[in-house]
Amino acid sequence: MSSAILILSGPSGAGKSTIIQNAKNQIGDFYFSISTTTRSPRDGEVDGVDYYFTDKEHFEEDIKNGEFLEYAKVHGNYYGTSLKPVHKALDEGKLVIFDIDVQGHRLAREGITEPITSIFITPPTLQELKKRLLNRKSDDIEIINRRLKNAKDEIQAIEEYDYLIINDDIDIATKAFISIAKASRFKYSNKRLDSFRQSWLEK
């Protein structure tokens, strides 16, 4: 199958990670984009699984070379989405999956030349999202309120996405995701279309 880029956005608690986990054996070989950071690994964190860990010198060199889709400095450490592993995965024919916010989606549309398919995933209502966040019992109320505020802001951008998955039933949402992920591999860049057209005419 052809390589492709699939961007997922949506509020924390929408079920994106669960959907990917449920679908992983049905969407072909894929690479899930993870962040690169200059901070030290915490106990249990694995390089290439949780983050790509690097030093400040190499990170700043990659910034100069335009190797980051986006990056930020937080508490003295850099965090960013490196394009190096993305390009490597695409060269290997993999489906590259990003889980990024609305701003990251916009940056990807501007900064990545390969075709992009995007999905906004959300619970059916704001109240349902609040219920799920409270039931997780992993965040205090201040963080939950911040997540809800962000969700209200991001829902305004759903028309920027190719598809909307309303995760009211995880099995139905997973099936929709699988269909879109498979279809994304049939989206061709202009460069590949030109190459095919030339080949088609010559044979």
State how many domains the chain has. Answer: 1
Q: What percent of the chain has pLDDT over 90?
A: 71
* Measured distance CA(145)–CA(149) in Å, rounded: 6
pTM score, two decimals? 0.86
pLDDT at 79 over 70: yes
pLDDT at 166: 98
State the residue range of the domain holding 71.
Answer: 4-202
Tokens of 167: 């995760």
Tokens of 98: 């990003």
| Cβ neighbours for 81, distance < 8 A, ≥ 6 positions apart | 33, 35, 36, 68, 69, 70, 71, 98, 100, 104
Residues 95-135 pLDDT 10s? 999 998 898 899 899 988 889 999 999 999 999 999 999 99
CATH code, domain with 109: 3.40.50.300
pLDDT at 2: 83
Alpha-carbon distances of 43 from 40, 47, 53, 200, rounded to whole Å: 10, 11, 13, 55
* Mean pLDDT across the chain: 92
